[in-house]
Chain A
Amino acid sequence: MEPELDKITSVGQRLVQRLLHWRAVASNTPHVEGRTIAVASGKGGTGKSFFITNLAVALHQSGHRVAVVDCDYGLGNAHLLLGVNPKMTLHHLMSGVASVDAILERTQYGPDLVAGGSGISSMGELGPRHFELLAVAFGVLAKSHDVVLLDCAAGISPQSMMTLLAAESIILVTNPEIAALTDAYALIKCLARQPRVPEIQVVVNRVVELGLGQPTFERLAEVAQRFIGRSLHYIGEIPDNPAVSHRRLGQAPLLVSHPECNAAMGVRTVMLAIEHTMGPLRASGSKKEDGVERRILRLLREH
């Protein structure tokens, strides 16, 4: 019997060794994740959705794997701008009836899209449990894309703030008008009161006169620095263009329909500025603790 027992023991040992080896290999595998960028605006109608869809197309055209997540949980419209009629949205994900892979739509212009819950009022009542599901979904998207763009709802609600804080960097879209500036500042003021606020980059949209973006930003940055001690980063301006304001439903994004116009060039320049500020917009190895999933869970746990 002894030889048999020895044999069994050695087989068991080898199995344990193999399992231990597998665990060691698994734990040594680097955590690869793309960059998560949230796009926000204090006020509605600043051209945030226009900006994010065209930024996504620009990134796709320059060889990045891009996913847009429409985090306007109540009134998402990114699917309209990207020419998608989604069968499933974030609502299905957070109801637990669909995985993130199932709700991910590939658009004809290149970027992938997770559509928001258009017209669903209950989406504005999201709680911590929903954000746990979102955390996992964002983590999955970040692993399979170079850039995940989170299209946050305008204004300041706990849901949109939570989404902003989950990102690695925040792009704030504003206009030169005073109403847009004050609301952008209010958003920055709210963010400044949170721990671990991502870097805030500012883009000035609908600039009627070339170079007007810079003084607009300077005014906002100066007030943010003076009153809340927060530094902002300017990443450029996008000129006002009739090709944008006269767009109709179903038209291709500006970078596809009018790739040579000044607004399209503005988006491309902003894309380069983002890369200049954040470094290469590529999926890269990082600590899992620094990933988007862990960031959201940490925010919820701290609560």
Chain B
Amino acid sequence: MIRGPILPLTRAGLWNLVVEAPARIERGLRLVAEDLDFGTGDLGNVDGLLRDAAGNPVLVLVTDPSDSALIARISLVYAFWQRNHRSLSRAIPEAQMRNPGSFRILVLAAALAQGSVEMLERLAIAQLEIIEFERFQVGARERLVVRRQRSNRLPLSGQLEELDATIDAASRGLLSQVAEMLCRLDPRIRLEGDRFSRRVTSDAGELCESFYADGVVHAVIADHPTCALNNLDDVRGLVDRVARRHLAWLRSVKAAPETAREVKAEAVSPVGLPRRSGFEALSASLATATLSREEWNALGEVQPEEMPRSSG
């Protein structure tokens, strides 16, 4: 049974979800620091500083419908980081920021009114992204939907976001190759992902995820350790493993009544005729290759007027 949320997510609850698993928002996100005061005073602090897979800083602001100071807070944080990003990157060495000037501000909310979204859009801050978390229950288990409400940088197409502009061309090529090759295997295979990762899924679940982190493309097949993809050969190897896994699943779904060996073991023809070989037996086979009424019916579920003889 699927049910909607019983209790709304509070700001603290939302932030806990981020702390528990930042990758829920985006593959490769890592928490660096919590509760930072960027001179916003009474308006409230920045809930967290994170680092994305490319080493860029990500500032997170958690909000709820009662948060009337959100717009002001975003404006102040944006201006503060623009002014001081060099100093801040030196002050927080553990963040290992590669390009502190290329930052993003994520606004996390359980639900945002359309009016709030429009107001945020009017800010025209290219680095601003709005992410909504929504809880639901399947049976007794609670699940979470993470929805990208709006991204000023690049629009979402279904669940597939374009790759981040900071990813180098070689890594971008490898990520694209993985996705393209896997999607060729089976038209039922689906592709989703955020700006740093590509997740390939089928009806069997997740087949493979490839992601970019700190200049290297990695891939992980479910239950297997993560491996690095350095060149096209690595990509082919990965696709081969995924294809075999997918086919194994397809075969397990399809009924396989018995193996060929079991049939081969039969000493006498199952139709009860003595087996002959060579041209003589082959010619004899042609003479007896007529379909009985029962066989015809079983194949076609029709009642022919005449018994057809198979073509030769």
Contacts and interface: CB of A to CB of B under 8 A. Distances in A.
Interface of A: 42-44, 127-128, 154-158, 161-162, 178, 181-183, 185-187, 189-190, 192-197, 199-200, 210, 214, 218-223, 225-231, 233-234, 239, 260, 262, 265, 268-269, 272-273, 276, 299-300, 302-303
Contact of A193 (B260, B275, B298): B275
Nearest to A262: B187
A127 B279 CA distance: 8
Contact of B285 (A190, A218, A222, A229): A190
B298 to A, nearest CB: 5
A185 B295 contact: yes
A233 to B, nearest CB: 7
B187 A193 contact: no
Interface of B: 184-188, 243-244, 247-248, 251, 254-260, 262-264, 266, 269-271, 273, 275-286, 288-292, 294-296, 298-300, 302, 308, 310-312
A255 to B, nearest CB: 11
A239 B186 CA distance: 11
A225 B299 contact: no
Contact of A225 (B244, B254, B257, B273): B257
Contacts of A230: 263, 270
A104 to B, nearest CB: 27
Contacts of B312: 155-157
Contacts of A265: 184-187
A276 B187 contact: no
B275 A273 contact: no
Given A182-B299, A189-B271, A227-B292, 20 more contacts: A154-B311, A156-B286, A162-B282, A178-B299, A181-B300, A182-B296, A190-B282, A192-B269, A193-B275, A194-B282, A195-B275, A196-B264, A227-B271, A228-B271, A230-B270, A234-B254, A262-B187, A265-B184, A268-B184, A276-B248
Contacts of B271: 189, 192-193, 227-229
Q: Which of A178, A189, A221 has the most CB of B within 10 A?
A: A189
B185 A300 contact: no
A299 to B, nearest CB: 6
Nearest to A182: B299
Contacts of B289: 156, 186, 189-190
Contacts of A221: 257
Nearest to A221: B257
A221 B257 CA distance: 9
Given A192-B270, A303-B277, A197 B247 contact: no
A24 B69 CA distance: 91
Nearest to A189: B289
Contacts of B302: 178
24 contacts: A42-B310, A155-B312, A182-B308, A185-B291, A186-B289, A186-B291, A186-B311, A190-B289, A193-B281, A194-B285, A195-B275, A197-B264, A210-B187, A210-B188, A221-B257, A227-B271, A227-B294, A239-B187, A272-B185, A272-B244, A272-B247, A299-B277, A300-B278, A303-B277
Output the residue of B280, B292, B299 with the most chain A CB within 10 A. B299
Contacts of B280: 303
Contacts of B290: 186
A195 B277 contact: yes
A219 B280 CA distance: 31
A197 to B, nearest CB: 7
Contacts of B247: 269, 272-273, 276
A299 B299 contact: no
Contacts of B258: 231
B279 A303 contact: yes
A218 B291 CA distance: 18
B148 to A, nearest CB: 28
A194 B255 contact: no
A164 B215 CA distance: 53
Output the residue of B186, B244, B262 with the most chain A CB within 10 A: B186
- Give the top 9 A-B pairs by smallest Cβ distance, nearest first: A303-B278, A186-B310, A229-B270, A158-B282, A190-B285, A302-B277, A178-B300, A161-B282, A223-B298
B282 A182 contact: no
Contact of A156 (B188, B294, B310): B310
A214 B251 CA distance: 11
